[in-house]
């Protein structure tokens, strides 16, 4: 490897050129011959010279990066790939870099926890992805750093972006009732309680109640250890009081319901309509034709980063919370009930 | 918000202390009274002062961060959450930050594409997550930057870390044959061809051939548009020549096979043993008891970051490629065939 060069001055010295010529050549300004520009670029590459972001950040007082600070735990730290992508796209459009920093629950709960992203990395702002439980301390600590900070997938009075789960629940039930269903159930299952479980369920229940009907059942299976599974689902499906349509909290429930229906000889959608929520369309993720309200994670990432960059720019510390609508992937699993 | 302070000198001035005292207090060195230390820390927090990483990086010539450079496309840019976590954990254990930078196929294919992560961010090294097609140009370009660079999930002669798909295929078939199966099929489906499709299949075929048997079938459904789905699977499953055991490329195939079996009145595992590969256990992701060889993404992330940091430290440019074994989640879907 050729000798490493760290500054434009060193590069100019090496080439026997003035520092201004080197600077102009690297920046692509006019007033430098093509031959010189080529010579400078080649030398820069040979010597591993890269424009010095550190020096630039000292000049501007901004660091040109934001951090995604998250929980390293499976539940609270759930970080959908599309959310990261959406945030990263908007950052990139604005010439900003994204750093990722994840920490264990223990670390978050330590009295003097100070993630490097806050104390040392010198970042212009943070997105916070810690969905399960925001301790008052963490909240106050972030405030104390006086850094712009936007929260992901939580419900707060300001500075947060999340999917609109209640609206999605309402829409799911409404689609089923529009098709003629009067007996609708909701099933959910999750490792840790997340507000979306209740919100989707409340949306479903509200739509049903507003139509003068009653939710047939609302079943919640707690914890990954009591894994939902087909056998569980068959218990309630193989009864005369079973609903004609079921709303599923996530793909897992939808797959269990589908397989249980097949085993019991029920046809989907003729004997049982089904609609699921999901981080991706069930049809794509499983090969089963289950209509899905898809969580708009990419949009959440984009909107959160946009809010953060706006705050960094304007200093506006109180941004209206944003709740974004789900997308709908129609896969044909909702039809009128047999007796309609 | 209190007036913002950017340097230790400003902070010292504000407090009427010497700069050395401020520096010692912030660094937690001895020789500063607890009262002074407290006063400095409080003032630092009130004024939003943070130790200046930019200044430090100019001193040391290292930037204290590495970048994860990836494709923004759904297929090639597939970035499992656990891979990112694993890489991030190892970086953090070494006091290094991770920046994420994703780019479209168009960007990667532009003649003079120079991601900021290479040209401007000033990073100490990169992990590259662009799994589908590494153009010679990208490869040469990364080399030209003279930056340590480790490739994820691709097969190269050096500097790459990936799961050992062929070994996993071999293990899957061997488990089925150990249970007594002689008629084994392999089905796969993917949006874009990835080496893992062939490698898992080759591993299965090799194990079967080595045992003096013949693979009953090797079906590949191409593209997300011709979505696998239960109906497709039923066509081959409802025949007298169907295998007694099937190996599935991913969770999607496993779910389709499971549901098709239920619809045809076949019992799993009694009438059909099934084993899947997957980025997480099928049992957890779907609620169906399907035994799964789980891709060790967290380990891949950890190993790749360890290789990269080692390279940054030692300057060693030729690191042996690493292939990591899958983990096994036993869910009871492999039993001896009925006629065994």
pLDDT tens figures, A41-99: 788 777 766 554 445 444 455 667 898 988 777 666 778 888 999 999 999 888 888 98
- What is the CA angle A115-A121-A125, rounded to 5? 85
Q: CB of B123 within 8 A of CB of B69? A: no
Assigned CATH topology for domain A62-163+299-323: Rossmann fold (3.40.50)
CATH for the stretch B8-51: 1.10.260.40
Higher-confidence residue: A114 or A298? Answer: A298
Chain A residues 183-222 with a CB less than 8 Å from chain B: 189
What is the CA A165 to chain-centroid distance, rounded?
Answer: 14
Superfamily name and number for A165-295 = Response regulator (3.40.50.2300)
Q: Please tell me the predicted confidence (pLDDT) of residue A29.
A: 52
Residue of A117, A146, A262 lying closest to B259 (CB–CB): A262
Helix (H, G, I), strand (E, B) or coil at B26: helix
Q: Which residues contact A64 (CB under 8 A, 6 or more apart)?
A: A53, A56, A57, A95, A96, A97, A124
Is the pLDDT confidence value at B11 over 50? yes
Q: DSSP assignment of A80-149, as one string?
A: -HHHHHHHHHHHHHTT-EEEEEEE-HHHHHSTT---HHHHTS--S-EEEE--S---HHHHHHHHHTT--E
pLDDT in tens, A122-160: 678 999 987 666 667 777 777 777 789 999 988 889 999
Contact A331, A291 (CB under 8 A): yes
Q: Cβ separation of A54 and B54 shorter than 8 Å? A: yes
Among the listed residues B136, B137, B151, B67, the one whose alpha carbon sits nearest the alpha carbon of residue B102: B67
| Domain coordinates in residue numbering, chain A | 8-51, 62-163+299-323, 165-295
- Does B6 contact chain A (CB < 8 Å)? yes
Query: Is the Cβ of A227 closer than 8 Å to some Cβ of chain B?
Result: yes
Residues B94, A195: Cα–Cα separation, whole Å: 35
- Give the pLDDT of residue B302: 95
Architecture in CATH of B60-162+299-323? 3-Layer(aba) Sandwich (3.40)
Tell me whether the CATH fold assigned to A62-163+299-323 matches the one assigned to A165-295.
yes
Region A324-334 average pLDDT? 97
DSSP A57-75: HHHHS--SEEEEEEE-STT
Could you read off the pLDDT of B229-286 as tens digits, one per residue?
888 888 888 888 889 999 999 999 999 999 999 999 999 999 999 999 999 999 988 9
Q: Is B7 an interface residue toward A (CB < 8 Å)? A: no
Say if residue A239's pLDDT is above 90.
no
> Which H or E run includes B75?
none
The answer to whether the CB atoms of A72 and B51 lie below 8 A apart is no
Mean pLDDT, range A183-212, rounded to an integer: 91
Specify the fold of B165-296.
Answer: Rossmann fold (3.40.50)
- Distance between CA atoms of A306 and A298, rounded to whole angstroms? 12
Tens of pLDDT, residue by residue over B124-178, are 899 998 766 666 777 777 777 778 999 998 888 999 999 999 999 999 999 999 9
Beta bridge partners of residue B188, listed in sequence order: B220
Picking from B63, B81, B263, the nearest residue to A54 by CB comes out as: B63
Side-chain-side CA neighbours of A303 within 13 Å: the count stands at 20
- How does pLDDT run across A268-281, given as a tens digit for each residue? 999 999 999 999 99
Q: Mean pLDDT, to the nearest integer, of B105-115?
A: 71
- From first CA to last CA, the distance across chain A in angstroms is 77
Is beta strand A273-278 parallel, antiparallel or unpaired with respect to A291-294? parallel
Q: Where are the alpha helices (DSSP H) in A195-281?
A: 195-210, 229-237, 251-263
Is the pLDDT assigned to residue A1 strictly greater than 50?
no
* pLDDT band at B59; cut points 50, 70, 90: very low
More reliable by pLDDT, A193 or B287: B287
Q: With helix as H, strand as E and coil as C, how does A282-338 read?
A: HHHHHCCCCEEEECCHHHHHHHHHHHHHHHHHHCCCCCCCEEECCEEECCCCCCCCC
Q: Please, which residues 270-299 of chain A have a Cβ atom closer than 8 Å to chain B?
A: 283-289
The secondary structure of residue B216, as a DSSP letter, is: S
Helices (H) and strands (E) in chain B, counts: 14, 12
| Residue B4: predicted pLDDT | 66
Interface contact A65-B99, CB threshold 8 A: yes
Interatomic CA distance for residues A41 and A57, integer angstroms: 23
């Amino acid at each position: 490897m050729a000798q490493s060069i760290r500054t434009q001055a060193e590069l100019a010295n090496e080439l026997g050129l003035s520092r201004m010529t080197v600077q102009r050549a690297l920046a692509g300004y006019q007033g430098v011959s093509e031959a010189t520009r080529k010579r400078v670029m080649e030398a820069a590459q040979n010597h591993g010279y890269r424009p010095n972001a550190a020096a630039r950040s000292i000049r501007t007082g901004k660091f040109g990066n934001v951090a995604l600070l998250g929980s390293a735990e499976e539940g609270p730290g759930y970080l959908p790939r599309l959310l990261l992508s959406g945030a990263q796209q908007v950052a990139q459009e604005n010439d900003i870099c994204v750093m990722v920093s994840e920490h264990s629950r223990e670390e978050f709960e330590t009295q003097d926890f100070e993630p490097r992203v806050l104390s040392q990395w010198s970042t212009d702002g943070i997105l916070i992805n810690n969905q399960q439980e925001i301790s008052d301390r963490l909240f106050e600590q972030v405030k104390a750093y006086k850094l712009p900070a936007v929260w992901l997938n939580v419900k707060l009075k300001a500075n947060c972006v999340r999917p609109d789960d209640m609206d999605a629940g309402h829409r799911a039930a409404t689609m089923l009732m529009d098709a003629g269903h009067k007996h609708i159930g909701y099933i959910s299952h999750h490792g840790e309680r997340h507000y979306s479980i209740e919100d989707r369920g409340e949306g479903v229940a509200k739509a049903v109640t507003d139509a003068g009907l009653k939710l047939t059942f609302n079943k919640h299976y707690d914890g990954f250890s009591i894994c939902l599974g087909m056998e569980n689902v068959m218990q309630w499906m193989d009864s005369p009081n079973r609903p004609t349509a079921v709303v599923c909290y996530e793909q897992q429930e939808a797959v269990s319901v589908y397989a249980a229906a097949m085993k019991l000889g029920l046809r989907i959608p003729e004997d049982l309509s089904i609609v699921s929520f999901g981080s991706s369309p069930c049809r794509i993720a499983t090969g089963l034709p289950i209509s899905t309200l898809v969580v708009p994670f990419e949009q959440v990432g984009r909107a959160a980063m946009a809010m953060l960059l706006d705050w960094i720019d304007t200093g506006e510390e109180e941004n209206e919370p944003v709740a974004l609508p789900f997308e709908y992937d129609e896969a044909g699993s909702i039809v009128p009930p047999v007796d309609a």
